[in-house]
Amino acid sequence: MTLSNWQERTILLLNEEKTTKLNNSNVLVAGLGGVGGFAAEMLCRAGIGSMTIIDADQIQPSNRNRQLLALSSTHGKRKALLMRDRLLDINPELKLTVIDEFIRDDRTNEILETPFDYVADAIDTLSPKIFLIRQALKNGLPLVSSMGAGGKTDPTQVKIADFAETYQCNLARMLRKRLKKIG
């Protein structure tokens, strides 16, 4: 990918070498809701050259308070297809793979055979989250995983940590318990 004029501010911020590195990177974003939708868009705007997005969900009216894709005009529409259109409108040169399905254990290995530079897990359902995390770690892929934010109202309390060190997060607690059980 050649550096485009739309990336001039990114080049000023990061420099040309780092922007080129972004252009040559391949990222997986799993889950396109409250966290994943914003993550996918910001990665695209930063200039990521290749991206795979995964989500089989549809926009619900209750998504409008927190999800980028959720508008009154998008109720009932597929998140992955809406995000595809949005990302390609931002960067038509983006090499985008769209997987409009839920992550299942039997598909995780196949999906993660792609040489991703980074995996962003924004899945809010326990079993698919476990499938993805377990396989990404097994494959040695760098991974960032969002946990639960339900009921949390103070964004200054958000911390970045190994999920084994988290507290007051039911999703992380259940994830630790299940991962420990399956090894």
Q: What is the CATH number of the domain that holds 9?
A: 3.40.50.720
Residue 168: what pLDDT?
A: 79
In a shared domain, residues 75 and 163: no
**pLDDT tens-place string over residues 140-163:** 999 999 988 777 788 888 888 887
Question: Residues 11, 97: one domain?
Answer: yes
Q: Of the ranges 34-38, 98-102, 105-109, 157-161, which one carries the lowest mean pLDDT score?
A: 157-161
Residues 33 and 80: beta-carbon distance below 8 Å: no
Question: 3-class SS at 99?
Answer: strand
Residue 167: the pLDDT is 78
Sign of torsion over alpha carbons 137, 139, 144, 146: negative
In this prediction, residue 81 carries a pLDDT of 98
Give yes or no: residues 133 and 62 share one domain. Answer: yes
Of 51, 27, 9, nearest to 118 (Cα)?
27
Work out the percent of the chain whose per-residue pLDDT is above 90: 75
Same domain, 102 and 131: yes
Residue 156's domain comprises 152-183
pTM of the predicted protein model:
0.93
Residue 2 above 60 pLDDT?
no
The domain tally of the chain equals: 2
Q: Is residue 34 located within the same domain as residue 93?
A: yes
Say yes or no: 142 and 156 in one domain: no
For residues 15-41, average pLDDT: 97
